[in-house]
Amino acid sequence: MKWVLVAAMVSATVLSDLLQSQEMKRAGEQSVGARGLARLLQTIAQRRQLILAVGCNAVSFFTFMALVQREPLSFAVPASAASYVVETILAKFVLHERIGARRTAGALAVLAGVVLVGG
Amino acid sequence: MESQRGSSTTLKTWSVLLFFLALKAAGNSWMAWGMKQIPERMSMDPALYMRAMLNPFVAMGIVALILALLTRMALLSLADLSYVLPVTAIGYVIAVFLGKVFLHEAVTPQRWMGTLLIFGGAVLVGTTSRNTTE
């Protein structure tokens, strides 16, 4: 069950990040002041993909709640790093980013770490 | 004058970074502590989650994690993502440490090794250049 929850949490996080990354590039640079935050909220409300991203974030958060109820925190938090691996793969094939040797090595180290943490 | 402004920004960045790490650590710990006190197992029923949020530790955890999210946004306005990602990866190590010390979790050497590998991997991923669209 713990890996089902990790997979659900990581999938929701990755989907949210991908949607945000794609849509925020189209929306342009945003600032984080009081006025900037208001504009950011307006941008989210106007773009269906960003609303979906917020929904995915909520799913990820509730799955994290279920995960820490069943499993130790020392497993739940490091296991969430599996999103680095999935994001790296999707960044290559969905966002068509160039993935260098350094990033590949990093993603593989995270993958090995998640396997060790869950063992 | 210029160097004074630079060191003030560095100090601000470090303060916001430490505040973010503290909020994240406290939020995760409170959430884990509170969720373990909830007798019903979480399922697909949203009412269970709403009831869980009435637990003071879960509620404090949610508030701290939302504040952490906003603090991270503020941090991103002060520093590049390539700086923020690797330095915040220390959060994985902090979470395991807090799990062991405050929640009395059994952390095996294998789990420590895994966490350190994740930390190293996240640093490597985080220090690659952004905007590398083909």
B65, B118, B124: residue with CB nearest A105: B124
Q: Give the tens place of pLDDT for each residue, B87-123.
A: 888 888 999 999 999 999 999 999 999 999 999 988 8
User: Distance from B61 to chain A by nearest Cα, in Å?
Assistant: 10
Q: Which H/E stretch holds residue A92? A: helix A82-93
Inter-CA distances, B79 with A33, B24, B109, Å:
15, 18, 34
Between B133 and B81, the more confident residue is B81
User: Distance from B2 to chain A by nearest Cα, in Å?
Assistant: 23
**Is it the case that residue A119 has pLDDT exceeding 70?**
yes
**Domains in chain A, number:** 1
Task: Kindly identify which residue of chain B lies nearest to residue A21, measuring between CA atoms.
Answer: B131
Does A52 reach chain B within 8 Å, measured CB to CB? no
pLDDT of residue A30: 58
Read off the DSSP letter of residue A33: S
Structural domain range at position A101: 2-118
A73, A100, A117: residue with CB nearest B105: A73
pLDDT category, B134, cuts 50, 70, 90? very low
Q: Give the tens place of pLDDT for each residue, B33-80.
A: 999 999 888 888 888 888 999 999 999 999 999 888 888 877 877 777
pLDDT category, A23, cuts 50, 70, 90? confident
pLDDT category, A87, cuts 50, 70, 90? confident
Please report how many Cα atoms fall inside a 13 Å half-sphere around the Cα of residue A34, on the Cβ side. Answer: 0
Q: Do B92 and A32 touch (CB under 8 A)?
A: no
Does A24 reach chain B within 8 Å, measured CB to CB? no
Q: Do B41 and A74 touch (CB under 8 A)?
A: no
User: What ipTM goes with this model?
Assistant: 0.82
Q: Do B114 and A98 touch (CB under 8 A)?
A: no
Chain B residues near residue A96 by CB distance under 8 angstroms: 133-134
Q: What is the DSSP string of chain B?
A: -HHHHHHHHHHHHHHHHHHHHHHHHHHHHHHHHHHTT--SPP-S-HHHHHHHTTSHHHHHHHHHHHHHHHHHHHHHHHS-HHHHHHHHTHHHHHHHHHHHHTS-----HHHHHHHHHHHHHHHHHHTS-S--B-
